[in-house]
Chain A
Amino acid sequence: MKPTRAISLRANIVTVVVVASGLAVGLFTALITYVNTRSSIAQLDSRLGTLADIIGQNSTAALDFSDRKAAGEVLNALRRETPVVSACLFDAAGSLFSEYERDAGVTRCSRRAGTAKPSGKEYRRVMRPIRRVADFVGSIEVTADTGDLKLLNNRMLAIAIGLALISLTLAGFSGTLLQRRISRPVVQLAAAMHRVTRDGSLDAHVRVEGAHEVAQLAAGFNRMIVELERRHQIARQAQSQLLEQSRTDSLTGLPNRRHLAEQLERELAKVQQEKWMIGLLYIDLDGFKLVNDSLGHAVGDLLLCEVAKRLKSRVRSADTLARVGGDEFTVILTGINGENDAMMAANGLIQSLARHFTIEGNEITVGASIGISTRRPAGMDDLDLLKQADSAMYAAKRTGKNRAVHFSPELGHMARERLTLESELRGAIARGEIYVDYQPEWSAESGRLVRFEALARWLHPHLGQIPPDSFIPVAEENGLIHSLGKFVMKEACAECLEWQKISPFPIEVAVNVSSIQFNSDGFVEEVSSILKATGLKPELLQIELTESVMIGPLSHSTEKMSSLRVLGVTLAIDDFGTGYSCLGYLPGLPFSTIKIDRSFVRRMRLGPEVATMIRSLIELSQNLGLRVVIEGIEEPWQLEAVIEMGADELQGYLLGLSSDAPRVQFADYLGGTPISLNAAVPAPENGR
C-alpha cells in the first residue's frame, strides 16, 4: 500500500480475508493436485507392473512353445486396459516375440528388448522379466499413456477450483461481516471526527461499541471531546476576557479608544435609520499636567479615576463614556435632538468637575475643555465626527479652557495655530461680539436697587459664549484690555444714563477696571472724557479695582485714585480676600466701597469661623468708613446671615442674574420697588 493512497479499513479487512483464504485454498488445491498426480502415476506404475507380470506369466508357455498366436491372444487381453498403449513380448534372446498395439498403425515396440526410445512425459513404461520357476524365458514391456490420468486430474482440478471459488465467496461474505463488526465503530468515529473538524461542533459523542480495542478508542474519543469542550470553554473565556481587556482602559475601567471606535460605528449605523442625532463630546482636562507634575503620577492617576467616576455619574446609561488618552475622555451621546442637547450635556459635565477633588489630602480642582460634534443629516463620515470633536475641543482649550465648543465648519477651516482667543479677540469689539451684562446690587437695609455691575461679555459666532475669566487675562496680556475697558465703560455709562430716566432714585453703575488699564497713562483723562461724552454724573460711576492694583508703586496708584476721586467717581475694591487681603493700607486709599469675594459666602457652610471672619471683616470695613458689598449670595440662608451680619449691599444669583437688558429685566425695581429680602426671589429667567 502506498502511503499517499489510503485504502479504507473496510476494503483492507475484506481484502485480507479474501487474499488469505484465497492463498490457503490455492495452496491446498495445488498440493492436492500434486499429491494426486503423484499417487495416480504410482498407481498406474504399480498396475502396469502387475499387468506385465500377469501377462508375462501367461506368456511363458507361448514363449516355450513359440506360439506367437497364443502370445498375441494373451497380449490382446490388455484391450480392456485402456491406458495401455502397447505391450511388447520379447523371448529369452531379447527378440521381439509378440506385440500389442492399442492404436492401429502405430508401432511402439522395438525389435530388440531394451532398445525402446524414451517414452516421453505422456507415457509410463514398465519392463519386466518373465520367469518360469528359475528359468528366464523372456521379458515384457508395457507402456501406458497418462491421458486418462490427465483427464482425471483435470476433473479434480476443476472441482478444486470450483470449491476454491465457493470458499472465496464465503470468505468475501464473512470478511464483509467481520469488516462491519470491526469497521463500523471506526467509521462512526471517523464521521464524528469529521463533524468536529468540519463544523467545529464538539457535540460529537459516539456510541461505545465494537471490539474491545475499538470500544476503548471510542471511549477515548469521547473523553477527548469532553476535554476539548472544556479547553474550548476556557479558551473562549480567556478570549472574551482578553477582548474585554483590549477594549477597556485598565486605569479607570472605562471603555478605551478601540471600544469607542466600535461603539461609534454601531451608533452611527443605528442613527442612519433613526431621526435622532448622535453627539460626540471630546473632553480634555484643564490643568491636569500641573497636577501630574506637582503631585506626581500616582495622584494624577487617582484623580483620573475620580474624574472618570464623576463624569460617569453625569452620563446617561445609554451614552458611552470612554477614556481615549492620558487626560482625554469621550462621550457618545445617543438619541439627542440637536446641538443644544449636546451643549447642555457638555456644560453638565463641566459643572460636575467644578467641585474640587480631594486626593490624598490634596484639594485639586480641574476644569474640562470639551469639543462637541454632532452627526448631521447630510453627512461627514465617522472619522470626521471624532476629528471634529477633537478640533472643537482644541478650540475650547485655546479659547479659554473649562468650556465647551461645538464644532462648526468655520472652525474646521481655521488653522489650529491661528485659533487662539487672542486672534479672535482682536476685532471682536469691531464685529460687535462684545456686549455688556448688568448684575443688580441691592441695599441690605431697604432692599432697593442701588447699582448695576457692568460685566463684559463675549459671544463668539462659532465658539459661543466665552467667559470673562478666559478672555480678560488674554486682553490684559496683549493690551486689548484698553480698548475693551474703554468700550465697556462707555456702554455702561450710556446705559446708566438711561436708568436715571426711569428710576426715582439714582442708580449707580459699577465698572471693573483692570489694573493694567488703571495703571496706563491717561486713564483718568479717559474716564473724564467718557463721562463728558455720555453726560453721566461722575458720582454715579463706581470704578472697581482688584487688589492687584496695589502691586507696584503704591504712591502712583494713590495719586490716580485721588485724581479719580477729584473727578467725582467713587472707587471700590473688588473681590476682596482673594489677593493679598491686606487691610493695613486700606485706610490710606480713597476707596468708598469694599466687595467681599464670593468665596467667603460660599465657605460659610464650612463652619461658624468663616461667619465670624465675615462679620469681623464687615465690622472692620465699616469702621474704616467703607460700604461693604457681599458678593455671591446664592442661598436664602446666606442672604439672611449676611443681612444679620450688617452688610450694606448685596449681590448674587439669588438676587438676580446679570442681564444685557436690565431695563426690561429689572423694570419694576428700576421703578423703585424694593426686593423682598425675607424670602428667595425667583431668579430671573433670562440668561446670566
Chain B
Amino acid sequence: MLIVLLLVMAGSLLAQQDERAVRAAFVFNLTKYVSWPGIRDLLVIGVVGPGDIGPVLKQVLNGKLSDGRRITVVVHTSESELGECDVLYVTAVSPAAVKSILNRAAARAVLTVGDSDQFVRAGGMVGLVRSGDQMEIEVNLNALRNRHLEMSSRLLKLAVLVPTSGESR
C-alpha cells in the first residue's frame, strides 16, 4: 500500500488532498536515513500541534516496520508522552510555539520534523516544506548533532541545509 502511495506520489505532482499522505511517506522514509543512539525495538512517532496530519500518519504508519522497529504513532501527544517519542512531528506554524515545543523535548534524542518553512530556522531538525509542486527537505545539521542523531549522507545530498536563525549570526 505504501508502494502504491509512493508511486502515486512519485508519478504525479503533489495534490492538495494527497499532501498529508506524501508527508507520511516522507516521514517513513526519513526514519530509514536517520540513526538513533541506543537500540530500541519501538519507533514512536508523536504528533504535536494543530491540523489533521496526526490521524493520517497514524493510519498510514502505525504498525509498520522501519529497519526492524515497529512504528507507533501517538496523536495529540501530551507533555508526559513527549519523553517517549523518537520522532516528533510538529505542525505548529509560529516560531515561538515551535521553540516551546522543542524546549520541552529537549532532553531526549528526538528527531523533530515540521512542515512550516520557519520550523528549521526556529531550531527544528528536518523541515518538509512545500515548494510549488515539490516537497523540499530542510535539515539543520547542528540540531541533529546536538541530539546525537545521524543522518545519511545520501539524504543530506537531497536536503537543503539550514542553520538555526540564532546561530547564523
Contact = CB atoms under 8 A, between A and B. Distances in A.
Contact of A61 (B3, B9, B33): B33
A132 B32 contact: yes
Interface residues of A, number: 16
Contacts of B10: 66, 91, 93, 95, 97
A61 B11 contact: no
B116 to A, nearest CB: 19
A62 interface: yes
B7 interface: yes
Which of B11, B26, B32, B158 has the most chain A CB atoms inside 10 A of its CB?
A: B158
Size class of the contact patch on chain B: 10 to 19
Contacts of A133: 32, 67
A64 B67 contact: no
Contacts of A97: 10
Q: What DSSP secondary structure best describes chain B's contact surface?
A: helix
B10 to A, nearest CB: 4
Nearest to B156: A61
B158 A70 contact: yes
B78 to A, nearest CB: 31
Contact of B154 (A60, A66, A92, A93): A60
A62 B152 CA distance: 12
A470 interface: no
Contacts of B161: none
Contacts of A503: none
A67 B158 contact: yes
Interface in B51-72: 67
B137 A65 contact: yes
Contacts of A66: 6, 9-10, 135
B29 interface: yes
B155 interface: yes
A58 interface: yes
A61 B157 contact: yes
B63 to A, nearest CB: 17
A61 B152 CA distance: 9
B11 A95 contact: yes
B29 A65 contact: yes
Given A132-B32, A133-B67, A62 B158 contact: yes
Contacts of B7: 91-93, 95
A93 B137 CA distance: 23
Interface string B134-169: 010100000000000000101101100000000000
Given A65-B158, A95-B7, 8 more contacts: A60-B154, A64-B33, A65-B135, A66-B6, A66-B135, A92-B6, A95-B11, A132-B32
29 contacts: A60-B154, A61-B33, A61-B152, A61-B154, A61-B155, A61-B157, A64-B29, A64-B33, A65-B137, A65-B155, A65-B158, A66-B6, A66-B9, A66-B10, A67-B158, A70-B157, A70-B158, A91-B10, A92-B3, A92-B6, A93-B3, A93-B7, A93-B11, A95-B7, A95-B10, A95-B11, A132-B32, A133-B32, A133-B67
Interface of A: 58, 60-62, 64-67, 70, 91-93, 95, 97, 132-133
